Each structure stands twice: as structure tokens, then as C-alpha cells.
């Protein structure tokens, strides 16, 4: 009987990393939720060489995209961005109003570990965050043991979305 229980526990523990992966909400659903059921037409923000340099600093790696898609209604913007956790992209939705984060949500998680960042206990830390002059968040984000790379990915995306929102407002 002990061997059966140990075998089952071993089988479950070997499958646990697979449970971290998942699509929790589509981009369309996130945008629609942010705008109270409406789905405005997406816009494109074309990036200059200077923009790419600033984005590369925020993201701590080279950024070569020509444009980024976003949605806007009045003073609100929604950004759906990908950032590598440890090895695979995490898709993150960020809703911004009046230059502060209203909601940040993990839409898809592809890593085998670190998915704790998708839970509200973690993402609610980003609510009301704004960007400082140094392109840093104005509030501290607590980490999660075992999810360091995922925490960094969400923090970088929050900073990027706020910077992009400010860029859209300025143009």
C-alpha cells in the first residue's frame, strides 16, 4: 500500500510543472473587460530608434519591433505585451487610466514554473502604480520565491506599458 501511495505521489510531482502552463484569458476578452464589454478598434504605435533604445533600457534587452498594438478609449489604454520569463513568453494585459495601472493580468503563461504571478494576491500590487522620471515603478513589488524571473517579466511589462501610455498621451 505504501508503494502505491509513493508511486502516485511521484507521478503527481512529475506532472506538476505542466500544470503551470495555460491560457487564462484571451487578449480580446481582456480588452473587452477593460472597456466594459466594448471592443474598440486597435491602434498601432510606431516606434522610433530613440523609442526602441528607451524600451530596451526598460526591458533590459534588445527591442527591435517596429510597432506595438494597443487599444484606447478616452484617457484609458490597454496593452497586451509578451515578455520572456525564464525561457518562454508570458502574455500580460495592462489596463491604464490617468497614467496609472488599473489592472494587470497574466493572460497566458507558458513556463513550467513561476505561475504564481498570475494570481490576484500578486497582481494587485501593481494597481495604482505610476512611472517615475527614471522609468521605474513608484511602488515596491514584492517578489515570489521560485518565481523570480516571472516577477521580473511582469514588472518590466508594467513599466513598459506605463511608458507607452505616456508616449501615446504626448503625441
Task: Give 106-165 pLDDT, tens digit per residue.
Answer: 999 999 889 999 999 999 999 999 999 999 999 999 999 989 999 999 999 999 999 999
Structural domain containing residue 145 = 21-170
Domain assignment present for 15: no
Domain assignment present for 12: no
Domain assignment present for 108: yes
**Res. 16: pLDDT tops 50:** no
pLDDT: which is higher, 21 or 76: 76
DSSP-derived letter for residue 47 is: -
Task: Give 57-82 pLDDT, tens digit per residue.
Answer: 999 999 999 999 999 999 999 999 99
DSSP-derived letter for residue 71 is: E
CA distance 77 to 92: 14
pTM: predicted TM-score of the whole model, two decimal places: 0.87
What's the domain count of the chain?
A: 1
Domain assignment present for 65: yes
Domain assignment present for 11: no
pLDDT: which is higher, 25 or 21: 25
Domain assignment present for 10: no
CB 143 within 8 A of CB 125: no
What is the pLDDT, as a whole number, of residue 17?
46
Amino acid at each position: 500500500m505504501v508503494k502505491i501511495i509513493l508511486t502516485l505521489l511521484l507521478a503527481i510531482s512529475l506532472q506538476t510543472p505542466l500544470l503551470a502552463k495555460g491560457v487564462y484569458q484571451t487578449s480580446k476578452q481582456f480588452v473587452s473587460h477593460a472597456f466594459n464589454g466594448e471592443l474598440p478598434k486597435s491602434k498601432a504605435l510606431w516606434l522610433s530608434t530613440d523609442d526602441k533604445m528607451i524600451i530596451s533600457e526598460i526591458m533590459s534587452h534588445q527591442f527591435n519591433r517596429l510597432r506595438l498594438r494597443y487599444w484606447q478609449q478616452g484617457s484609458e489604454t490597454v496593452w497586451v505585451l509578451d515578455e520572456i520569463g525564464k525561457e518562454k513568453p508570458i502574455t500580460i494585459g495592462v489596463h491604464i487610466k490617468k497614467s496609472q495601472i488599473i489592472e494587470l493580468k497574466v493572460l497566458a503563461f507558458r513556463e513550467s514554473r513561476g505561475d504564481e504571478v498570475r494570481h490576484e494576491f500578486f497582481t494587485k500590487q501593481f494597481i495604482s502604480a505610476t512611472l517615475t522620471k527614471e522609468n521605474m515603478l513608484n511602488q515596491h513589488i514584492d517578489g515570489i520565491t521560485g518565481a523570480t524571473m516571472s516577477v521580473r517579466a511582469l514588472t518590466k511589462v508594467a513599466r513598459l506599458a506605463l511608458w507607452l501610455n505616456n508616449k501615446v498621451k504626448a503625441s
